[in-house]
Amino acid sequence: MKNKIEKLILNAANELNILLDHKLEIEQKSECKLYGQGGVLDSISLVTLIVKVEEKIEDEFKSSIILADEKAMSQRRSPFLTVGTLSAYIESLLNAEVVYG
Amino acid sequence: MDKPITLITGTRKGIGKYLSEYYVEKGHIVIGCSRSSIDWSLPNYKHFELDVSDEKSVRNLFRCVRKEYGRVDNVINNAGIASMNHALITPLSTVNEVLKTNFIGTFLFCREAGKMMTKNKYGRIVNFTTVATPLKLEGEAVYAASKAAILSLTQVLARELAPFNITVNAIGPTPIETDLIRSVPNEKMQALVQRQAINRYGEFQDVSNVIDFYINKKSDFITGQNIYLGGVS
């Protein structure tokens, strides 16, 4: 599942790159920096990425998760740092959804 | 040219029903919703039965819209409930209901519509405020406050969504003869109408006139605005 999620985030990042002056380095795969600590996204482009990823998750996993909830915002290590951290965060959300329905 | 996709909440009756008919007539595809089923149908109109404050149902509606139409151009947050009561004898359950339908419902539709509209880099959102707020009507504390929250939401969202070419505006109707005011004594309504600059009841066309202006493609420099009908300010 992790690979699938990562691929999906990279697809979204690739789509977003069309709009960006400073491109996301998607060839770095899971190490690709997104937001904060060397990431190239500003808050508006992060919002756009989140919307794209939520949509792709919905299509792929038939699951309506909300990425930017209080949990994500209050985590000490932001899930939006890299493609890898975001992918792990999404996986945890999807797993939680399976458990709690 | 593609038909505009217009989503209207609270379409079972009153202003919402009128707006559905009006925009279908103007060539839009209209998606409507209400808590209970409707006893009418229109071509190019699709209805969803849901509570606007139920996050899951609202997200499901937008998922269906995305699957079927791929976008939404206009969202008109008309759904609303009123409560006329002295604040000291207003039950908490009423406060919760009014806030849920009026404010939370509007918020959820703005959020989900905003997400879909960012993709298209185009969107028009119109929210509903009320003259009860600036007129500070006694007996409408909760209703007026819930709509004041919508005004504030409109103004902040206008800024947050501007980078995506989405405008967010509001209209504040005066009393219109719908179910919403049917329970209010006539002399109270007359006194209210007398406080407007133009002393008459509002009509449905007064509302669609302002919405037409807001959702016009040329209105891309108009956002965060609120127009009260009847010259109330």
pLDDT of residue A101: 46
Nearest CA in chain A to B112: A51
Is A58 within 8 Å of B63 when comparing Cβ atoms? Answer: yes
8 Å CB contact between B160 and B119 = no
Range of the domain at B177: 5-231
Reported ipTM: the value is: 0.81
Report how far residue B226's alpha carbon sits from residue B233's, in angstroms, rounded to the nearest whole number: 10
Contact call for residues B140 and B82 (beta carbons, < 8 A): yes
Q: Read off the amino acid at residue B175.
A: P
Q: Cα-atom radius of gyration of chain A, to the nearest Å?
A: 13
Residues from chain B contacting residue A55 (CB–CB below 8 Å): 66, 115, 119
| H helix and E strand count, chain B | 9, 7
- What would the two tokens of residue B36 be? 């209970």
State the sign of the Cα–Cα–Cα–Cα dihedral A47, A53, A57, A59. Answer: positive
Q: What is the mean pLDDT of chain A?
A: 88
Test A52 with B56 for CB contact under 8 angstroms: no
Helices vs strands, H then E, count in chain A = 4, 0
DSSP B4: P
| CA–CA separation, B80 and B18 (whole Å) | 15
Rounded mean pLDDT of A10-39?
92
Question: Which residues 35-54 in chain A show a CB within 8 A of chain B?
Answer: 44, 47-48, 51-52, 54
Tell which of A44, A63, A69 to mutate to test the B interface (max B CBs under 10 Å): A44
Contact residues, chain B, for A48 at CB < 8 Å = 118, 164
Q: Are strands B74-77 and B123-128 parallel, antiparallel or unpaired?
A: parallel
Closest CA to A38 of A75, A85, A93: A85
Set of chain A residues whose Cβ sits within 8 Å of the Cβ of B63: 58, 64
User: Residue B108 is part of a domain; what is its CATH number?
Assistant: 3.40.50.720
- Looking at residue A39, what is its pLDDT? 87
- Determine the straight-line distance between the first and last CA of chain B, rounded to whole angstroms: 39
Chain centroid, CA B211 distance in Å: 10
Instruction: Answer whether A52 sits within 8 Å of B119, measured CB to CB.
Output: yes
Q: Write down the pLDDT at residue A62.
A: 86
Residue tagged 């959820």 (tokens): B108
3-state secondary structure (DSSP) of residue B162: helix
Q: Considering CB atoms only, which of B56, B119, B163 is closest to A44?
A: B163
Q: How far apart are CA B113 and CA B62, in angstroms?
A: 8
In chain A, the residue whose alpha carbon lies closest to the alpha carbon of B115 is A51
Nearest residue of chain B to residue A43 (CA atoms): B160
Interface of B with A in 137-166 (CB under 8 A): 163-164
Please count the CA atoms within 13 angstroms of the CA of A22 that sit on its side-chain side: 10
User: Which has more pLDDT, B57 or A19?
Assistant: B57
Hey, what amino acid is at B104?
Answer: I
Measured distance CA(A28)–CA(B93) in Å, rounded:
53
Taking the Cβ of residue B60 and every Cβ of chain A, the question of whether any pair is shorter than 8 Å is answered with yes
- pLDDT 10s digits, A42-73: 989 999 999 999 999 999 998 888 887 777 76
Q: Say whether B118 and A47 touch across the interface (CB within 8 A).
A: yes
Judge: B119–A51 Cβ closer than 8 Å, yes or no.
yes
Q: Which amino acid is at A72?
A: A
A71 close to A54: Cβ distance less than 8 angstroms: no
| Residue A58 touches chain B, beta carbons under 8 Å | yes
pLDDT < 50 regions, chain B: none
Give the model's pLDDT for residue B180.
64
Rounded Cα gap, residues A47 and A56, in angstroms: 14
Q: How many domains does chain B have?
A: 1
Measure in Å the smallest separation between the Cα of B59 and chain A Cα atoms: 8
